Structure 1
Amino acid sequence: MMAAVDATEGRSPVLRVLDAIDRTVEALCRGMALSTGLALLFLISVGVGARYVIHVGGIDWAEELPKQVFPWFIMSGVVLAVRGGNHIAVDLIMRVLSPALRTALVVFINAVVAVAYVMLCKTALDLAIIAAAEINPVLGTPGSLPFYALAIGSILTAIGAASIAVRVFILGADAAPQGRPEDSVQ
């Protein structure tokens, strides 16, 4: 009987840490996407059903709550898309570059993406402070909640892009996540 082999055995400590971070972020975002997706399905169904049953206009919270949940759903999907290599990309130039230039380009692009999302996180947090003064009249929640979804999603996207950059720097361009062929420009 053969013993199970640890997939991280023989990998550098940096790559093991990145693997752990990536698994944690993926689990968190998959859970968020699933739970918010189901919540949206339920809330929108309740809202639509109530409009037909209650002839006065439906249930107020069933109309407002999806607006608060939707940003969390979207940002979890953005993080998962970046992590899986399914984010918007045009990879025509990659075919004509040498492996060293491909590696440099992938590292550079992901470093720029990481910096841009850190800046977006800061902006979202600044806006959350301003929007906190607005209170949803139906739910009583602060207007800052969607901005926190943007901030958290942005920092997780930055972490994902930085992880890709480091991984590609160490292992080469082939270590970059490969999106599905139908999602790329060929």
Structure 2
Amino acid sequence: MTAFLNVIDAAARVVVFFARLVIIASGIVLTVITTANVIARYALSSGGLSSAQELPMLIFPWFILSGIVLAAHMGGHMAVEWVYDKLEGHSRLVAFGLAGSISTMSFLILAYEAVLVAGIAGVEKSPVLGLPNSIGYYSLAAGALLVSLVTVAAMLRVFRFGWECRTELKPEEVAL
């Protein structure tokens, strides 16, 4: 069982590492594209870059979902901290397990449904870049799946090593 917990914890660390990379990279790209488009609006007679309208719509979901994955890892997504503070011992673990299980199942269902919708949306293409409109839905599916993984990792860590080993979001900490 300890080997399984180690694998889950390692997978969660890899997910968090890549979520941080995605949020930083996509944030930089979004800033560069938006800035370039603002400059192009004033410098070009065409009124801006046509692709600059579509790229943020494709990149923004990855940016947001990476943040959600990080928040879920830190215990800050759909948090019920006030309940945990009022409970002790076994009751606290039961509440934590129930909240984590509901969250995990909800995000797995969301991932499944997003893949179904992506199949439908993939028929349509963006007008300028010609990319399938399913990209945003696939980002939602990937993000929901990763939130489920880090939630399960957090639950297993607490159940195995105790409440003190829970990853906790502190207001003074920066997620990145």
- The TM-score, its normalising length taken from structure 1, stands at 0.87
Query: How far off its partner does 1:34 sit?
Result: 1.2
- Pick one of 54, 60, 66 that aligns with 1:70: 60
Matches within 5 A, 1:101-140: 101-140=91-130
Count matched residues.
173
Please name the residue that 1:3 is paired with.
none
Asked if the contact 1:115–1:158 (Cα under 8 Å) also holds between the matched residues in 2, the reply is yes
- Pick one of 129, 140, 152 that aligns with 1:150: 140
| 1:125-161 CA distance string (max 9 Å, x none) | 0000010011001011000000000000000001111
65-74 or 14-23: bigger deviation: 14-23
| In structure 1, C-alpha distance between the alignment counterparts of 2:86 and 2:59, rounded to whole Å | 43
Please name the residue that 1:44 is paired with.
34
Query: How far off its partner does 1:15 sit?
Result: 2.8
Matches within 5 A, 1:15-94: 15-94=5-84
Query: How far off its partner does 1:13 sit?
Result: 1.7
Asked if the contact 2:112–2:141 (Cα under 8 Å) also holds between the matched residues in 1, the reply is yes
| In structure 2, C-alpha distance between the alignment counterparts of 1:149 and 1:89, rounded to whole Å | 23
SS at match of 1:20: helix
Q: Any unmatched runs of 5+ in structure 1?
A: 1-10
Asked if the contact 2:84–2:96 (Cα under 8 Å) also holds between the matched residues in 1, the reply is no
Structure (1 or 2) with the larger CA radius of gyration? 1
Query: How far off its partner does 1:172 sit?
Result: 2.5
- Pick one of 146, 149, 159 that aligns with 1:159: 149
Asked if the contact 1:106–1:173 (Cα under 8 Å) also holds between the matched residues in 2, the reply is no
Query: How far off its partner does 1:41 sit?
Result: 0.8
Please name the residue that 2:4 is paired with.
14
- The TM-score, its normalising length taken from structure 2, stands at 0.92
Percentage of pairs with the same residue: 34
| In structure 2, C-alpha distance between the alignment counterparts of 1:153 and 1:92, rounded to whole Å | 26
Q: Over the residues paired in the alignment, what is the CA RMSD in angstroms?
A: 1.7
| In structure 1, C-alpha distance between the alignment counterparts of 2:121 and 2:11, rounded to whole Å | 31
Q: Any unmatched runs of 5+ in structure 2?
A: none
| In structure 2, C-alpha distance between the alignment counterparts of 1:182 and 1:112, rounded to whole Å | 28
Query: How far off its partner does 1:65 sit?
Result: 0.6
79-88 or 153-162: bigger deviation: 79-88
